[in-house]
Chain A
Amino acid sequence: MKKSSIVGIIVIAIAIAVIISTYSSTSTYGSFNDAKNSKSELHVVGHLNKSKELFYDATKDANYFSFYMKDNKGEECKVVYPGTKPQDFERSEQIVLTGQMKGGEFHASKILMKCPSKYTDDKLNVTEVSAKKSASI
């Protein structure tokens, strides 16, 4: 067998492995209901329920922020985030959470939010905060 064919086969094998690993590592956008039935982390898209309390009091705990979010199916759930309250959180239009359900609360490890730019309604700013542990490599 020619060497170039061997190299070719190896390359194709790695390429396929990469594609499979890409596909298997992608997660899903789900609802809170999906989160309740799942043990792994997933993304939940929704919006902030502005009528309920956003709780953050640095003097009591600088790393505890909780709020209520409605997912795209209309289900509401309390969300807990281990960090400071992100800037302009109240103004967010859409939130994408990454995390998992634990005992009736959704523990978010990452919050990505879209805020309307203050002056123009047609532009959205996206910001992300993450509470990932530092040794994540």
Chain B
Amino acid sequence: MDIVFKGEHLLPGQLGQFFIVLAFGAALFSLICYYFSAQEDVAKSDNSWLRLGRIGYWLNTVAILGMGVCLFYILYHNYFEYHYAWSYTSRELPVYYIVSGFWNGQEGGFLLWYFWTAVLGNILIWKAKSWESPVMVTMALTQVVLGTMVLGLQIGSAHIGSSPFLLLRNAMEAPIFKNPNYLDFIKDGKGMNPSLQNYWMIIHPPTLFLGLASLVVPFAYATAGLWKRRYKEWVAPAIPYALFGCMILGTGVIMGAFWAYESLNFGGFWAWDPVENASIFPWLVLVAAVHVLIVFKNTGHSYFTATLLTLLSFVLVWYSSFLSRSGILGESSVHAFTDIGLFWQLVIGIIVFLAITIYLLISRWKELPITKKDEDTYSREFWMFVGAVFLGLSCLQLILVTSVPVWNAMFGTKLAPPTDPVKQYNIIQASFAVVIALLSGFTQFLKYKQTDIRRFFITTLVYLVFAALITALVVYATGVYKLNFVFNLVMLCAIYSVVANGKVLADAIKGKFKLAGSAVGHIGFGLLLVGALISAGTKRVISENLTGEQYSAEFAKDENPKENILLYKNEPIKMGEYMVTFRSDTIEGAQHLFNIDYQRIQNGKVTEGFTLRPNVIQAQGGMSSSPDTKHYLFHDMYTHITMTNVITTEPQGEEASHGEEGDDKKYDAPVTHEIAVGDTMTYRDGIIILKGLNKNAKLQNIPLTDKDIAVGAQLEVISHGKTYQSEPVYMIKGRSVFDFGKKVEDAGLKLRFTKIIPGKTLADGKVEITVYQQPESKKKFIVMKAIEFPYINFLWAGTIIMVIGFFMSILRRNKELKPEPVKVAAQPRVKVQKKK
């Protein structure tokens, strides 16, 4: 029996699903047409296959846009009958996060990739000229493979792809979905994970996916070149696209690093988490590929390496999405996705593109234009080639270690990742960085083909000495010299790269400006290494804590100094050269902000004061803490709440129901003081002074007659430099005695005026004040961690400079492309046929 469900909005989903199928069909159609178009003899063709291929691709693009509109419509209108909307958004989520909810799930990620490949394909249709047909075959193939990922077809028990338009009631089995009115019970979606509610979530994923998607273009050119036997020609038009891929993917990855740094959730800007590693495999290989592509273009050497690396970089894009999306990293990564049933489809994705690579390289092996002559030892091409190989090796090491779970799955072994992977990666990758940075420096003094050896050695040496002097200064000033020797070597080589390329840049500005791109890029890379090294190597926990109960001597010995400190509200604590005080907490929207005062004290004087406001977000049943940072030019100081009793995740109903009796339980046993006006009482956190007695105390809602007496005790509480006023009241009404206690919440006190001990006059007499103070554990507190990251700005500046360098190189390489006359396009093919 079919249930008719009420209140569902099925149209956008059905439309979206239609677009998914349309996009897939159109991509397949385009693939077939372009394939036949590429096989035709251009001279005789009427271009009908080409035109059909274009139509197919355009249709695919339109359908992808349609999907995006449908999905956004669903998210924007909070249609929680859709699993995707329910899983990643909620009603109170602001619009900009709803936009980013679009790519919160895996399906959305695929949509982004799908979309960017469509955009790039259209650019190629417009620009690729004679390359269009063979290049677009690969583009259309990519669209077909990506299309299957979001298809959401159910065939028996197996399903192909996972559609973002899946209905909630189809996604889950639950009795509630037997109810036609089930939507009345689903008031809100699960909302976005609090740690993703960050502006980087809006910009980082689209950039990263554009980067990953753009790697298909050099791959498409390389396959087209091999397939159509236009071995040498494909390189020049592929270089600008490869540079574009390096630039965008690099930017995307660094944005992720910046996000991680800012939110501190993953322990700094780079934690060598498997997912982070996976994102730079393709980048490292592509950067290597760009270098050898340029070598080949200038000298004709390194053809095989250039082609292989270009092809591999896109295969690695698939491998890295397999790692992060298949759930295989489950036990070793913090931010990998869980499998949504795409495991084998992702494997097929890798196999398809790997098979193309292997087939083309083997079948064309004998025809490849590989030079028989060796490069000259003192030539730029030789050392660029060596550098590219080392980039590849560094990537190999990352792949081998990151893929430990994959080896386990493949060979049935039970290896665990290294216990201290960060150290492991740091040392090994630093060794590669030494070689790569050194090469990126001295290779600048070499020329293509042949170099004047004597001059080369002199310049290299001069700059090396110069770099060594700067390094000595930097290393000493920042404390890097205390680290492992390898890191000092990296520092030397990175600085050497900066000064050597600085010279090239200076020359370029004087004359050969086209060389500036690479110099700027290398300077950026050098600075990036310098910043990463100092920042990660000399970061320092300021919130050192030597206190704490000694649960076991062994534990204390091992772990001191510990890194979290406890701050009670309004009780200042000395932390390094700062005096810190937890002042207050406020709630702004979903954020719970904590105001923490910092005062830097030098020689007994307050030299600087500021307030940091770290916050905690509660959502999806968990808490997520984000730090606040004081930025200085040369270092950043972080403050991060690791624990607090201000927010509880447990329901709060309990406390309220206890009433007066229960209320006293929240305090330590009361202490009574008999004091006269002007006297002082002490308590654990300060003093209380009885300023005077107010004989005309008034109480709300209690009318007093002449016979009644109500006296207020004017008390002043001084605690940790703060003063509070309080006036508990003692009252005799009729024959009964009452007292009305007052609470001083901020000081954790409850004060009662419990007795009047008459003297000769009222003023002369004494009074009894009962003091209740909260036990330490009931007072509001936070546990926080403060960390100082020095010189991080070098890292960010280096990145920006490197991206600028890539951009300048794109402009240059683009300019070098000679416009392709339409007629000439047919010529290479004629040559190929002669060869046959």
Contacts and interface: CB of A to CB of B under 8 A. Distances in A.
A5 B564 CA distance: 55
A2 B373 CA distance: 9
B541 interface: yes
B565 A62 contact: yes
Contact of A18 (B396, B540, B552): B396
Interface in A34-90: 40-43, 45, 57-64, 66, 80, 82-85, 87-88
Contacts of B336: 126
Interface string A93-137: 000101000110101000010100111100110111011101111
B781 A103 contact: no
B622 A3 contact: no
B386 to A, nearest CB: 7
B386 A7 contact: yes
B424 interface: yes
B418 A62 contact: no
Contact of B621 (A88, A98, A120, A135): A88
A127 B620 CA distance: 14
B472 interface: no
B428 interface: yes
Given A42-B419, A82-B555, A118-B621, A123 B783 contact: no
Contacts of A103: 552, 554
B548 A64 contact: yes
A124 to B, nearest CB: 6
Between B401, B416, B548, the greatest number of chain A beta carbons within 10 A of the residue's beta carbon is seen for B416
B685 interface: no
B537 A96 contact: no
B622 A137 contact: no
B416 A27 contact: yes
Contact of B426 (A22, A57, A64, A137): A137
Contacts of A2: 374
Contact of B564 (A62, A98, A128): A62
Contacts of B554: 102-103, 105
A63 B645 contact: no
Given A61-B549, A83-B642, A107-B555, A22 B420 contact: no
Contacts of B645: 58
Contact of A29 (B416, B545, B624): B416
The number of chain A residues touching the other chain, given as a range, is 35 or more
Contacts of B562: 62-63, 82-83
B575 interface: no
Interface in B400-457: 400-401, 404, 414-420, 422-424, 426, 428
A69 to B, nearest CB: 16
B428 A21 contact: yes
**Majority DSSP secondary structure for residues of B touching A:** mixed
A109 to B, nearest CB: 8
Given A57-B777, A60-B548, A107-B558, A137 B416 contact: no
A64 B555 contact: yes
A63 B414 contact: no
Contacts of B375: 3
B551 interface: yes
Contacts of B555: 64, 80, 82, 105, 107
A87 B564 CA distance: 15
Interface in B620-655: 620-624, 642-643, 645
A42 B416 CA distance: 8
B420 A136 contact: yes
A26 B393 contact: no
Interface string B158-179: 0000000000000010000000
A22 B401 contact: yes
Interface residues of B, number: 71
A26 B417 contact: yes
Nearest to B625: A87
Interface stretch (B25-33, B141-149, B327-335, B746-754): B327-335
Given A18-B428, A88-B622, A41 B536 contact: no
A14 interface: yes
Nearest to A94: B331
A118 B428 CA distance: 40
B483 to A, nearest CB: 6
Contacts, number: 165
A68 to B, nearest CB: 15
B262 interface: no
Interface in B47-103: none
B428 A134 contact: no
Contacts of A128: 334
A96 B623 CA distance: 21
A87 B783 CA distance: 13
Interface string A3-29: 110010001001100110111011111
B718 interface: no
Contacts of B559: 63, 82, 131
A119 B190 contact: yes
B400 A63 contact: no
Given A41-B419, A82-B555, A84-B642, A62 B621 contact: no
Between A25, A96, A107, the greatest number of chain B beta carbons within 10 A of the residue's beta carbon is seen for A25
A59 B418 contact: no
Interface in B557-573: 558-559, 562-566
A6 to B, nearest CB: 10
A59 B549 CA distance: 9
B486 to A, nearest CB: 10
A132 B548 contact: no
B420 A62 contact: no
Given A60-B548, A64-B549, A112-B331, A134 B418 contact: no
Contacts of A119: 190
Contacts of B536: 137
A96 to B, nearest CB: 6
Contact of B777 (A3, A59, A117): A59
Nearest to A61: B548
Contact of A58 (B414, B422, B558, B643): B643
A53 B642 CA distance: 21
Given A58-B783, A84-B643, A63 B545 contact: yes
B322 interface: no
B414 A62 contact: no
Given A41-B419, A58-B781, A102 B558 contact: yes
A134 B776 contact: no
B712 to A, nearest CB: 34
A96 B334 CA distance: 12
Nearest to B565: A62
A41 B566 contact: no
B416 A62 contact: no
Nearest to A22: B400
A25 B622 CA distance: 35
A80 to B, nearest CB: 6
Contact of A11 (B393, B417, B422, B558): B393
A28 to B, nearest CB: 5
A134 B57 CA distance: 52
Given A18-B396, A27-B419, A61-B549, A3 B374 contact: yes
B539 interface: yes
A116 B777 CA distance: 30
30 contacts: A2-B374, A11-B393, A25-B401, A26-B401, A27-B415, A27-B417, A27-B418, A28-B414, A28-B415, A29-B414, A41-B420, A43-B417, A45-B331, A57-B777, A58-B781, A61-B547, A62-B643, A63-B563, A80-B551, A82-B558, A82-B559, A84-B783, A103-B554, A105-B555, A112-B334, A124-B330, A126-B333, A130-B267, A135-B538, A137-B426
Given A27-B415, A29-B416, 10 more contacts: A18-B400, A63-B548, A80-B555, A83-B642, A112-B331, A118-B621, A124-B330, A126-B331, A134-B540, A134-B787
Q: Which 4 A-B pairs give the minimum distances between C-beta atoms?
A: A61-B548, A63-B562, A41-B419, A118-B621
